[in-house]
Amino acid sequence: MAGHAQYQNEIYLQGLADQVPPFTTDATRVEALAEAEMAPGPFGYVAGGAGSGDTVRANREAFSRWRIVPRMLTDATTRDLSTTVLGTAVPAPVLLAPVGVQSIVHPEGELATARAAAALDVPIVLSTASSYPLEEVAAAGGPRWFQLYWPNDPEVCASLLRRAKAAGYTALVVTLDTWTLAWRPRDLDQAYLPFLRASGVANAFTDPVFLAGLEKSPEEDQPMAILRWVSLFTGTDKRWDQLPFLREHWDGPIALKGIQHVDDARRAADAGMDAVIVSNHGGRQVDGALAALDALPEIAQAVGDRLEVLFDSGIRTGADVLKALALGAKAVLLGRPYVYGLALAGEAGVRHAVRGLLADLDLTLGLSGYRTPAELTPSALRRI
């Protein structure tokens, strides 16, 4: 057995020495394990959604409405999952989604995640709200994209983009759906917002333009620095006619994240964007929103020939990835599962979570009768 599925053999062979994986290989059970290990505030911040949590549940339920119809005798013994996404060569159509404030689940946070991803050659998408400066995370090597929470100060925005480009981040992911925080009861009930404790602000607190706008350094007056951060990164929605600013300050591919309506996808294509990421932020922003997977087919059909369509929100298993690819995604972004892996076992936990997903995808693809992701079409599925 070659390729990503080799991880299955490794696990079985390690069993001969009475070694078992660091935690379960069932990605749908990892959240419960993480809850038992994590403090309530950090766990609620990662697991929680907007309002009643209805959208979080809807994201998962949407996958169960699509069923794989396996094909036989297709010579799927040898498979190749590799592809290219926004100019980045990837070993499989999977990237690590931007998740901020990772130090609340493990002290090494994004540094551990980046090392694990680099070892697997899987791209990370680093959040603006990283616990460590983007330059330190880049030192892990490996392919990397930068996610932008678009600041209200154009000069701070331009400075962040300059730094990301200089540090080797090759694509820009602009999150559109989180210009202010949704009503999140799990965080509110514990009055827990890590940014107010100076977590997740490393990129701002190391940015020369941001620092120039302060009367005193963050070390001298942390509360005022945090207030300036809040004023710059929350509270103001942007407009379509502001997109050219990003093009002026970023010469690589740009993906708009948070697209759920087909007309917005068309506008992104009309604006010359390179990709859209069909996403509802893992159910964290609009309670009662459309499941991300339910938005994917229409968007892929409408603009898939004009830009790359990526997907996140609800991915847990290899079958989930296969379904999203069959419905038109070029690649998917994995979120909570790798963060739970980080919480449970640090860098090794991220590596286990990602290798497990890739092995699951590899085996599911082959057993369904396909050799490459490119062979997948909606005909691989049946809607129930």
Mind telling me the catalytic residues? 281
Residues 6+ apart with CB under 8 A from 249: 157, 158, 161, 162
What is the distance between the alpha carbons of residues 183 and 164, in angstroms, rounded to a whole number? 31
Query: Reduced to 3 states, what is the DSSP secondary structure of residue 2?
Result: coil
Phi, psi dihedrals of residue 18, rounded to the nearest 5°? 60, 30
Q: Which residue type is seen at 76?
A: A
Report the 10 Å Cβ neighbour count for 263.
Answer: 10
What stretch of H or E contains 227? helix 222-233
| Reduced DSSP (H G I as helix, E B as strand, rest coil) percent helix, strand, coil of the chain, to 5 | 50, 10, 40
Report the 10 Å Cβ neighbour count for 230.
Answer: 14
With contact defined as beta carbons under 8 Å apart, do 115 and 122 qualify?
A: no
Residue 153: which of 87, 73, 210, 76 has the closest Cα?
Answer: 210
With contact defined as beta carbons under 8 Å apart, do 289 and 314 qualify?
A: no
What stretch of H or E contains 147? strand 144-148
Residue 130: which of 197, 192, 204 has the closest Cα?
Answer: 204
Angle at the Cα of 79 from the Cα atoms of 73 and 80, rounded to 5 degrees: 150
Residue 96: which of 80, 79, 110, 82 has the closest Cα?
Answer: 110
Parallel, antiparallel, or unpaired for β 88-90 and 381-383?
unpaired
